[in-house]
């Protein structure tokens, strides 16, 4: 573990603000994480108890204090609406690696918010830390999440067979990786069809 604090960033994009969680986000967070439709491809069941909110917020603080990552609220700048959250975690300075994850409310789907938020957090992470690789996983049934990762330059590297069992449902996950050199290349002139593998 890094053994140092890692202040949670505040980031601005064209439409979004990424910022640390506060207790004022509790109701929105619980509504998101208890929605069975949003969580249908998640690696754990929807929340049933409000106590999960406190555990989540404690986890955010621990991440910052231990220097292991950052978890941020994704907020629409125009009306300060809670869109969801994005996380950069498991930072290992020796391996120069970390993981990316995100969860957005259903009303925010289809607007490119996940890609916009994740791109901002990745930019911060690659600039602030000496990263070489970021990993992400997506349920093989979740084509929308796979598209987000591929738009960001991630490469699908393999399949974890039957790695999740949630409420008795067994599912597979795709593993994606994004290397520093691929990230640097993807931030140049936009070539939407370059380098992407179709399904």
pLDDT of residue 42: 86
Separation CA 184–CA 191 (nearest Å): 13
Number of neighbours of residue 11 by Cβ within 10 angstroms: 19
pLDDT of residue 123: 93
Over its length of 199 residues, how does the chain's per-residue pLDDT go in tens digits? 445 778 899 999 999 999 999 999 999 999 999 999 999 988 889 999 999 999 999 999 999 999 899 999 999 999 999 999 999 999 999 999 999 999 999 999 999 999 999 999 999 999 888 899 999 999 999 999 999 999 999 999 999 999 888 888 898 999 999 999 998 767 643 433 333 322 2
Please give the distance of CA 71 from its chain centroid, rounded to a whole number.
8
pLDDT of residue 185: 67
Beta bridge partners of 88: 70, 100
pLDDT of residue 129: 84
The domain 11-186 having CATH identifier 3.40.630.30: the answer here is yes
Kind and range of the H or E element at 59?
helix 51-66
Separation CA 55–CA 11 (nearest Å): 24
Separation CA 16–CA 87 (nearest Å): 15
- Rounded to whole angstroms, what are the CA distances from 153 to 6, 48, 109, 170? 25, 35, 20, 28
Burial class (CB in 10 A: 0-12, 13-18, 19+), 15: middle
Annotate 148-163 with b (16+ C-beta within 10 A) or e (fewer).
bbbbbbbebeeeeeee
């Amino acid at each position: 573990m890094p053994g140092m604090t890692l202040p949670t960033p505040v980031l601005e994009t064209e439409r979004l603000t990424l910022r640390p969680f506060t207790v004022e986000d509790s109701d929105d967070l619980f509504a998101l994480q208890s929605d069975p439709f949003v969580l249908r491809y998640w690696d754990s069941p929807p929340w049933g108890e409000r106590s999960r909110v406190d555990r989540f917020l404690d986890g955010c603080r621990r991440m910052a204090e231990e220097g292991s990552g950052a978890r941020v609220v994704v907020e629409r700048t125009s009306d300060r609406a809670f869109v969801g959250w994005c996380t950069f975690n498991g930072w290992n300075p020796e391996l120069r690696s970390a993981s990316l994850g995100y969860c957005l409310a259903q009303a925010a789907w289809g607007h490119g918010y996940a890609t916009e938020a994740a791109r901002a957090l990745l930019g911060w992470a690659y600039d602030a830390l000496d990263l070489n690789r970021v990993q992400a996983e997506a349920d093989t049934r979740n084509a929308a999440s796979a598209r987000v990762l591929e738009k960001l330059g991630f490469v699908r590297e393999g399949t974890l067979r039957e790695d999740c069992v949630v409420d008795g449902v067994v599912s597979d996950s795709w593993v994606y990786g994004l290397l520093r050199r691929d990230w640097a290349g993807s931030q140049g002139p936009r070539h939407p069809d370059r380098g992407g593998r179709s399904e």
